[in-house]
Chains A and B, each alone.
Chain A
Amino acid sequence: MAVESSVIDELKLSVSVEKIREQKFHAPVPKRIIIKPTSGDPDGLEVILVFETETDLKRFGRPGISDMFFWIAKTVRQKLGGGAVPYLSAVSESSLRYR
C-alpha cells in the first residue's frame, strides 16, 4: 500500500535535520532531507540526504555516516510500523540539480 502524504509529513518531523543533529553522529549533518514514495514502486519509500556540495566525508570516517543511515531507516520503520525498508541515499546539492 502506498505511503500516504500525511504519513510522509509525520516522518519529516521524526527524521528532520534538527533531529539528526541532536543524535550527534560523527558525521556531517545533511542540509536537507527529501522523503518521497519511490518512483516505480508505490510501496517503496525513498529518503535522500542532501549534503553541501563541498562536504568532506573523509574528515569523519566510516562508522558515523552508516550509523546515521541506520538510525534514519530504523526510525522510519518504527513510525510506519514495519513495511518496506526505506531506500536511503546521500547526494550533494549540486548533483541533485541534474536529477
Chain B
Amino acid sequence: MAELSDDLLLLAKELIERDPTRPKQASLRRSISNCYYAVFHRLVKDCCSLLVPSTPEMRPTQAILARSFEHGTIADVCDDILNLLTNPPSKQHKARVLHFAAAFKGPGQNHLERFATHFVSLQKARHDADYDLAKRVDKFTATTTLANAKAAIADWGQLLNNDKRSSYAFAFLLLHWKALKSR
C-alpha cells in the first residue's frame, strides 16, 4: 500500500502540472500545503513506529500517539536543535540540554540539520499558501517547495536508517519538549 506521504507528493506534483500555461492559485496553494503535510505525516508515522512497536495489538496505541504531535512544537524543536548545533552548549547548561546536544552530534547530524531547516521553511510556506492571500504563489515557488519536501523526507530517512540515537532523541523531544523546556 502506498504511503500517504507518497500520495500527497504525487498529488502536489499533479497540481503543479495542471493547467501548464496558467496554473490556478488554488492548485499551487494546495500543492504547497500537500508538500508540508507529506513531510509531517511521514515524520509522525515514523516517530510512532520508533516509539511504539508496530504489532497489530499496538496499532491503536500508535494511532493515539500520532494525534499527540503538534505542528508548532515540531517547528520549535527543529528551531531549538538548530540553535543547539549552531551554538555548542556550555558546561553551565542543564544536564538534559547537554544530553540531547550530545545525542544530535552523531553520524546523522547533517541529515538532522537539513531536515530541521527544510521542515521550518515548509511549515511557513504552508502557512503562507493557506492564509496569506495577499501574496501571489507562483509555479516556481511550488516547484521548489516540492523539491524541498522530497529532500526533507530523504534526509529524515537517512537519519532514521543511520543514526538511531538521534532519531529516538528527536522523536522523544517532539512529544516532550514543552514539559522539558519549562523545567
Name B121's contact: one of A51, A57, A88, A95 (CB within 8 Å).
Answer: A88
Interface size on A, residues (CB 8 A): 28
Closest-CB distance, A63 to chain B (whole angstroms): 6
- Chain A residues with Cβ below 8 Å from B114 are 66, 70
A55 within 8 A of B: yes
Q: In the bound complex, how far is the Cα of B38 from the Cα of A52, in angstroms?
A: 28
* Chain A 71-95 interface residues, beta-carbon cutoff 8 Å to B: 73-74, 77-78, 81-85, 87-92, 94-95
Nearest A residue (CB) for B152: A66
- Would A74 and B117 count as touching, CB distance under 8 A? yes
Decide yes or no: A70 and B117 within 8 Å by CB, A62-B147, A87-B124, A91-B141 being known contacts.
yes
Majority SS of interface residues in chain B? helix
Q: In the bound complex, how far is the Cα of B87 from the Cα of A60, in angstroms?
A: 34
- Would A89 and B125 count as touching, CB distance under 8 A? yes
Nearest B residue (CB) for A90: B144
Interface size on B, residues (CB 8 A): 30
Which stretch of B76-84, B97-105, B171-179 is in the interface?
Answer: B76-84
* Chain B 54-104 interface residues, beta-carbon cutoff 8 Å to A: 78-79, 82-83, 86-87
Name B141's contact: one of A70, A77, A90, A94 (CB within 8 Å).
Answer: A90
- Would A92 and B140 count as touching, CB distance under 8 A? yes
Decide yes or no: A89 and B141 within 8 Å by CB, A62-B151, A69-B148 being known contacts.
yes
- Would B121 and A69 count as touching, CB distance under 8 A? yes
- Would A84 and B138 count as touching, CB distance under 8 A? no
Closest-CB distance, A20 to chain B (whole angstroms): 14
B11 within 8 A of A: no
- Chain A residues with Cβ below 8 Å from B83 are 82-83
Closest-CB distance, B89 to chain A (whole angstroms): 11
Pick 29 A–B contacts, CB within 8 A, sort by A. Answer: A57-B140, A57-B144, A62-B147, A62-B151, A63-B147, A65-B147, A65-B148, A66-B118, A66-B147, A66-B148, A66-B150, A66-B151, A70-B113, A70-B114, A70-B118, A74-B113, A81-B86, A82-B83, A82-B86, A85-B117, A87-B125, A89-B144, A91-B140, A92-B138, A95-B136, A95-B137, A95-B138, A95-B140, A98-B136
